[in-house]
Structure 1
């Protein structure tokens, strides 16, 4: 997608999320994916995939005919890196590329999406803490937990 092309499916930050399913995406080599059902106010899926597998999973949800919106963590907006900053910045470069690929995927497939800033304190939860916060008892990875924290509790209005 060229830089001059308008992003027609990007949802503005303060617009309400009206879609029934919110899908959190934590991009990377291991892509976290989590599905939040707004009606039940529960997570229905928390998993880790390769980027291509995650895109196929999103296409599957999109084919159901139920309105979906992707909430994608945008590493391009990250300004802090903490300890080992140089190593983290290099890794962030590939994640930034992955964010761009997700934007292009959404535009090509006409899927609404919102890019969100990585939040301090909202990521990197341990499994036990995540279980307490979300009620999800299934097996998780760090990436899938990060994806879930992007969508848990969103779209209440």
Structure 2
């Protein structure tokens, strides 16, 4: 069994957990947290399931080369890029397995109704939580 954690970086960190028992990740948690709350939750998962079973999938906006929206949007982009770097450094320091995912390689920006149809997740979500969930929904780890 593998525990897959999707991270959508930002002030509101999207955080999703899926369990992969060989057939792809089944969602068990889809929420939004602060970055420090998300890091604490990853540590809890590592202690609960063992660090060797936990895999993080972090959306990496540093790989994105297209942006629109002016100065304020650019400042927000800079913030999420910094958060991605923080996550990468934190994973290295804590020896947690991670993969940085290019934004174009993730299905994002699903509206709530579409997300429910695609994933079967009926709980309440926000855009960040849904983006994190799509990083791990039906994903399989081959390790």
Fold match (TM-score > 0.5): yes
1:104 corresponds to 2:86: no
Greater helix share, 1 or 2?
Answer: 2
Q: How many residues align?
A: 138
* Map of 1:6 onto structure 2: none
Structure 1's unaligned 5+ residue stretches are 1-18
Moved more, 62-71 or 115-124: 115-124
CA offsets 1:88-146 (integer angstroms, 9 cap, x no match) = 22211010110011011111111000001002771111111000000000111110000
Unmatched tracts of structure 2, length 5 or more: none
Question: Does 1:55 find its partner at 2:39?
Answer: yes
Q: Distance in 2 between matches of 1:120 and 1:153?
A: 14
Q: Determine which structure has the larger strand proportion and give its number.
A: 2
Cα drift, residue 47 of structure 1: 0.6
TM-score, length-normalised on structure 1? 0.81
> Could you list the runs of 4 or more consecutive aligned residues of structure 1 that deviate by over 6 angstroms after TM superposition?
none
Q: Give the SS at the match of 2:83.
A: helix
1:120 & 1:80 partners in 2: Cα distance? 14
SS in 1 for 2:103: coil
Identify which of 40, 64, 74 aligns with 2:48. 64
Q: TM-score, normalised by structure 2?
A: 0.89
